[in-house]
Amino acid sequence: MSNQQVGAIRAGLLLLLGVERGDADAQARELCQKILTYRVFPDDQGRMNRSLLDTGGELLVVPQFTLAADTASGTRPGFSSAAAPDLAETLYRTFIATAQAELGSERVAEGRFGADMKVRLVNDGPVTFMLEVKG
């Protein structure tokens, strides 16, 4: 197993992207727009008032099917609500293409779909959000 670095960013957002059954291209594009315009960066008064588009920050997108886990009962997660791998990868690619069209490909980095990745993060805050769009 190699320690090859696949994607990295400087200041910006690390997005763990989960795809569920029933998700479609429209949700992938809508979620991307929401993330790019979500105001989580501080303005001059220190209030969360600036978006990734406002700051010129970068975006690292890591596919993460375990976000679709059902943890409501028992002591083992279930993944029946996760999208099938072929659909999940298609929607992951749609998300990446949408982000690159808005930010430019030089500001969008990505993980490797289906890979066992080691992800490192320096969390400034810490500030963590879970964003969803409904179809």
Q: Is 71 a catalytic residue?
A: no
Q: Is 64 a catalytic residue?
A: yes
* Domain around 51: 12-110
Whether 120 is in a domain gets the answer no
Q: Is 66 a catalytic residue?
A: yes
Is the distance from CB of 117 to CB of 92 less than 8 angstroms?
A: no
Pairing between β-strand 12-17 and β-strand 58-63 as defined by DSSP bridges? parallel
Active-site pick, 66, 71, 79, 128 = 66
Active-site pick, 27, 41, 64, 98 = 64
Write the pLDDT tens digit of every residue in 21-39: 999 999 999 999 999 999 9
Whether 129 is in a domain gets the answer no
Write the pLDDT tens digit of every residue in 84-128: 999 999 999 999 999 999 999 999 999 988 888 888 888 887 788
Q: Domain holding 26: CATH number? A: 3.50.80.10
pTM over 0.85: yes
Residue whose C-alpha is closest to residue 99's, from 46, 49, 57:
57
Whether 102 is in a domain gets the answer yes
Whether 121 is in a domain gets the answer no
Active-site pick, 27, 41, 65, 98 = 65
